[in-house]
Amino acid sequence: MSRRTLDVIPKHRLLRRTLYGLLLAAPLLPGGMACGVKECEHGAPFLSGGPLARLPDGSLPENPSCETCPDQDAPLAYCLATTTSTGDAELRCTYYTCSNDGRRPEGLREPRGAGPADALGALFAHAAWLEAASVPAFLRLADELKAHSAPEVLVRAARRSAGDEVRHTRVMQALAQRHGATMPEVDLPPFEPRSLEEMLRENAVEGCVRETFGAFVAGWQGRTAEDPEVRSTLRAIARDEVRHAELAWAVDAWAHTRLSAAQREHLHQARLDALRSLGEEVERHQPPEPWIHGAGLPSREQARALFQGLAGLTA
- Which among 96, 131, 158 is the end of a domain? 96
My answer on whether 256 and 235 are in the same domain is yes
Mean pLDDT in residue range 178-205 = 94
Q: What is the pLDDT of residues 53-110, one digit of tens each?
A: 999 998 988 888 888 888 876 677 778 888 888 889 998 887 776 655 678 999 998 8
Do 145 and 182 share a structural domain? yes
Closest to 305 measured CA to CA, from 279, 269, 284 = 279
- 53 and 201 both lie in a single domain: no
Mean pLDDT of the chain: 86
| Structural domain span for residue 76 | 46-96
Burial of 6 (0-12, 13-18, 19+ CB in 10 A): exposed
Bigger pLDDT: 163 vs 100: 163
The count of structural domains within the chain is 2
Kindly state whether residues 181 and 291 are assigned to the same domain.
yes
**133 vs 308: CA distance, rounded Å:** 27
Same domain, 241 and 268: yes
Residues 78 and 216 in one domain: no
Q: Are residues 190 and 270 in the same domain?
A: yes
Which of 96, 126, 160 marks a domain boundary? 96
The answer to which of 30-34, 66-70, 146-150, 278-282 has the lowest mean pLDDT is 30-34
pLDDT in tens, 104-159: 999 998 886 545 557 898 899 999 999 999 999 999 999 999 999 999 999 999 99
Question: Between these two residues, 73 and 52, which has the higher pLDDT value?
Answer: 52
Confidence of residue 261 (pLDDT cuts 50, 70, 90): very high
CATH for 209? 1.20.1260
Q: What span, in angstroms and rounded, lies between the C-alpha atoms of 301 and 33? A: 12
Task: Answer whether residue 30 shows pLDDT above 80.
Answer: no
Same domain, 73 and 172: no
Query: 169 and 21, same structural domain?
Result: yes
Q: Are residues 198 and 276 in the same domain?
A: yes
Share of the chain above pLDDT 70, in %: 86
**SS3 for 32-84, per residue?**
CCCCCHHHHHCCCCEEEEEECCCCCCCCCCCCCCCCCCCCCCCCEEEEEEEEC
Let me know whether 173 and 232 are in one domain: yes
Shared domain for 18 and 87, answered yes or no, is no
Mean pLDDT, residues 252-260 taken together: 93
